[in-house]
Structure 1
């Protein structure tokens, strides 16, 4: 550390190697113990804590200053590092084998009694902690999070710089986009009645950079989405955003794997197995009922449609005849771990995901299995075929859903996760990475009455599926890829459309009018006329990556100044009313009935 007027070392660096040396330290009083004539203070800064000792016989006339110290006072001390006696060593502190015998003290600032407890085990409510975020951030665990963010950002920049990427900033004030989440709008004072849209991602700009010949681009980009918040969402968030020219998917994925492996090695000391598994979207849905499968445990889905297509049980056979399917999960040796009440709750859980019901079988060798309701409706041959398919043994539970293929897969995929929780399957200290590829390019939106892009309108279809854009758009697969770890989408991207004719076909499949295309994407369509290289890229959720690395499940905990669920910053009290003069300048009036 560079020495300053106030410091010759930081608190966490004071160790046995400095015994006998005089040090100057600065920081906050973390705790104070007054033994009468001797006062002990744990002095804290970002690097850690060290015990400093004020002995009336040594500090002399400055001892009354030490008596005034209270928690969170800002101190500057000078003293000699000495070893603690064996019985006073504190193994809970990195610096617990030494202490600083102070001979000079200055109180740089006092502190009111903090409204929250500035310790890692503080139990204050989240709203209080966010209101006093500057105190919350003094906690060692929160400072470690922010320092980890900085370390990961440095690893990313160094890695990408070494691999020929150029860091380029793209605009924050841009155009609104018709696809995706709602935009945040910024009114223009100069062009009244017109609005900028804050970027949901730098997608179009990074494609323009490839057309510009920049070859490899990246930035740690701030992105904005006006959407309802969950534990892993914020209205403003950060992406590690990248784009490359003259590449295919097989060029991009190894580069990204290596970068993520480097981060996990340097931050967590974990060696990731590479190359990562690749799995098509169709396989992921068929086996796990999710396009971001958690591979840390089994409980895979099985398709029983061929066994039950002619079943006399109409719930099954009718669903199959309508083009749906019957999907099943077998929970091995689960009897005794799931009560009848738990089974009922699992049925309610499946219905959350639009399943009409949940059938179950408790596999037993004796006649008591007939208490399972579903066995009254299927034949002995069908039952035996199901047991053989699933490898069923006494003590197992079988769960089944019959519905449209999408509902059956999704409901069972969610039930799979819930079963893992209820069966207390240990998934700790595991990181299972994979790539999910070949997503559907389009999906039909009933509300809009048209196809919409699964990712975004600039994702390239697989070459062999391009003819289907005009005849069977629902069958077109995209050249897209998501990196998934432990059931979480860490990042995603695609090869982009680099041909104007194909981009026009895509817009046509999306039923976007020529006027809409020209208004929203005219500059891109014009740029595509002038020689566009094949290109593709990917963006990682930077905040999600930090959550994964730090074993944190709330995105607000990894952002320095986060928003609450209603988009409020409790510390600054944003958003707030704008002044009347500001509104007049912008040509905006506010309807008082809606505020």
Structure 2
């Protein structure tokens, strides 16, 4: 049975005591990592979130404490009072390894059953078990380090933005559904039967309203919710660092956020991020890397070789040119000797991105080998090799199809090769790039209409506004994403503040005036009253912490995450509720039948 504290006060944390504390008495509290009984001495490794301290109990030190210490087991929660002394057998691998606490008194605060998971670093346990016993998983030192990093990062963000004149303002989490992106999480209202609140996918409309309110510079570390199918590193609820500014253009927003990135990486990792960060237009990113979030830590840029083979007597190339597609290639250095099985696997890989196949040219010392060489003249082969700047020992991989398929498949292929060739092993390299000049709109073939690439309030580039009436697909946006090592870290835009232009935008998106007012009326109403030019950006806070903590799993940086099915094995949420609760809400259950 556990004992009460009875006025006992913790006077030190386990991991903070050092040789300078020798000769002083302290009370420490924590969990038993392990116990060793060596006859007349019992050694207990005591753990709290700052680290581990060795505690020694001896019959000669205090017989009662020694006997009580013999009863403790792993994960018992205990309090110990004693004197810091020099260890007879120091452990230089531990921060507290030169000292130990000579235990005079011990209180067993609570006992523990044998935990279903080991409380240790680098645990290799099934994710569903870790999530079911998350409170034990979070006891592990490597998990606690992540949440210390998360807490410190939130403070750095708040300090930096506050020092730069930003006000932290909360916005509602019960709001109106404005479906135009992912599916909303809905909350039924008891006071208004049949009506629903929505949980915010982002504070977008409210932060724009704060600009109308004259707050000028706003930020919030905000909870956001999206009811979508969970791919890797997506969670139904996540956290954004949300920022909005008035009287700004693209360069102003980028400058503030570069300062924030620089500050965070210096304070948390002591890494100097060089600013200004490189900028790359969307079109260049897609054509060189096949992605709007390119990983620039390695080369393998996509090269258009259509001109070099436009007259080739090869049906696959001819078909691509006929449909106004292209033939493009990537060069893989020092891989000319890649085996046929591996090449076949890469061919199957690009087929998952709708490519019909993968052609290859191996530039070997003695000869050029390629299954398509018979369809190409010597000059065409030479021109391809020159265009991609291939040297002896290099491998050229080629896809021919529509531009969309070619870029998508080669973009995925370069990432796949980078993993296979272990080009991304160094997780201390941070390669940032801003992607700018995104398309404002994309065409939805199924709905036969244009839709916003970001959201309906994104400002078109001034020189492209004229194309809204004639060629909407040509319009670029004043939008920007910050990309780190091939992951989108954050994104934002300058917003439309002119009501006539906003009306035109809704019109292009296929909204009637009535539909636009039905969905976004409170924002459009506010924009009648002198809205300032404004823009902002939102960082994915969880994703930022993943980089800072050196993990590639988003569940590691969220205290109580959901699994891939948006279910929490620990609290068993979502779950059924009482019929009484449903009745109060005017909700009846119906069974889902095929």
- Normalised by the length of structure 1, the TM-score is 0.97
After TM superposition, the structure 1 stretch with the greater mean CA deviation from structure 2, 57-66 or 294-303, is 57-66
Alignment of 1:284-295 (within 5 A): 284-295=285-296
In structure 1, the residue matched to 2:422 is 424
Deviation, 1:384, is 1.6
Alignment of 1:151-550 (within 5 A): 151-336=152-337, 338-364=338-364, 366=366, 369=368, 372-428=370-426, 429-550=428-549
Counterparts of 1:108 and 1:29 in 2: how far apart (Å)? 11
Deviation, 1:426, is 4.7
In structure 1, stretches of 5+ residues that fail to align are: none
Counterparts of 1:122 and 1:68 in 2: how far apart (Å)? 27
Deviation, 1:427, is 4.7
In structure 2, the residue matched to 1:69 is 72
Instruction: Say whether the 8 Å CA contact 1:118–1:135 is kept in structure 2.
Output: yes
Counterparts of 2:491 and 2:8 in 1: how far apart (Å)? 48
Counterparts of 1:64 and 1:425 in 2: how far apart (Å)? 56
Deviation, 1:105, is 1.1
Instruction: Say whether the 8 Å CA contact 1:334–1:423 is kept in structure 2.
Output: no
Counterparts of 1:204 and 1:460 in 2: how far apart (Å)? 15
In structure 1, the residue matched to 2:134 is 133
Instruction: Say whether the 8 Å CA contact 2:57–2:65 is kept in structure 1.
Output: no
Aligned-partner SS, 1:183: coil
Deviation, 1:422, is 2.0
In structure 2, stretches of 5+ residues that fail to align are: 1-6
Counterparts of 1:225 and 1:251 in 2: how far apart (Å)? 29
Aligned-partner SS, 2:46: strand
In structure 2, the residue matched to 1:34 is 37
Deviation, 1:123, is 2.5
- Post-superposition Cα deviations, 1:63-114, rounded to whole Å, max 9, x if no partner, equal 22111111111111110000112xx111232101000001111111111111
After TM superposition, the structure 1 stretch with the greater mean CA deviation from structure 2, 379-388 or 307-316, is 307-316
Counterparts of 1:559 and 1:196 in 2: how far apart (Å)? 25
Instruction: Say whether the 8 Å CA contact 2:65–2:103 is kept in structure 1.
Output: no
Instruction: Say whether the 8 Å CA contact 1:309–1:321 is kept in structure 2.
Output: no
After TM superposition, the structure 1 stretch with the greater mean CA deviation from structure 2, 147-156 or 62-71, is 62-71
Counterparts of 1:332 and 1:146 in 2: how far apart (Å)? 40
Counterparts of 1:342 and 1:265 in 2: how far apart (Å)? 42
Counterparts of 1:32 and 1:176 in 2: how far apart (Å)? 56
- Post-superposition Cα deviations, 1:146-193, rounded to whole Å, max 9, x if no partner, equal 111100000000000000000000010111122111111111111111
Aligned-partner SS, 1:530: coil
Deviation, 1:402, is 1.2
Aligned-partner SS, 1:57: coil
In structure 2, the residue matched to 1:53 is 56
Instruction: Say whether the 8 Å CA contact 1:6–1:76 is kept in structure 2.
Output: no
After TM superposition, the structure 1 stretch with the greater mean CA deviation from structure 2, 73-82 or 60-69, is 60-69
Instruction: Say whether the 8 Å CA contact 2:365–2:393 is kept in structure 1.
Output: no
Counterparts of 1:424 and 1:103 in 2: how far apart (Å)? 54
Instruction: Say whether the 8 Å CA contact 1:491–1:541 is kept in structure 2.
Output: yes
Instruction: Say whether the 8 Å CA contact 1:6–1:26 is kept in structure 2.
Output: no
Aligned length: 587
Counterparts of 2:232 and 2:119 in 1: how far apart (Å)? 24
Deviation, 1:378, is 2.0
After TM superposition, the structure 1 stretch with the greater mean CA deviation from structure 2, 174-183 or 475-484, is 174-183
- Normalised by the length of structure 2, the TM-score is 0.97
Instruction: Say whether the 8 Å CA contact 1:182–1:225 is kept in structure 2.
Output: yes
- Post-superposition Cα deviations, 1:343-371, rounded to whole Å, max 9, x if no partner, equal 0111111111111211111123545x45x
Counterparts of 1:239 and 1:481 in 2: how far apart (Å)? 16
Deviation, 1:121, is 3.6
Displaced runs of 4 or more, over 3 A: 364-367
Instruction: Say whether the 8 Å CA contact 2:503–2:513 is kept in structure 1.
Output: no
Deviation, 1:327, is 1.2
Counterparts of 1:122 and 1:251 in 2: how far apart (Å)? 44
- Post-superposition Cα deviations, 1:398-456, rounded to whole Å, max 9, x if no partner, equal 11111111221111111111111222225512111110000001111122221111111
In structure 2, the residue matched to 1:113 is 114
In structure 2, the residue matched to 1:17 is 20
Deviation, 1:317, is 2.8
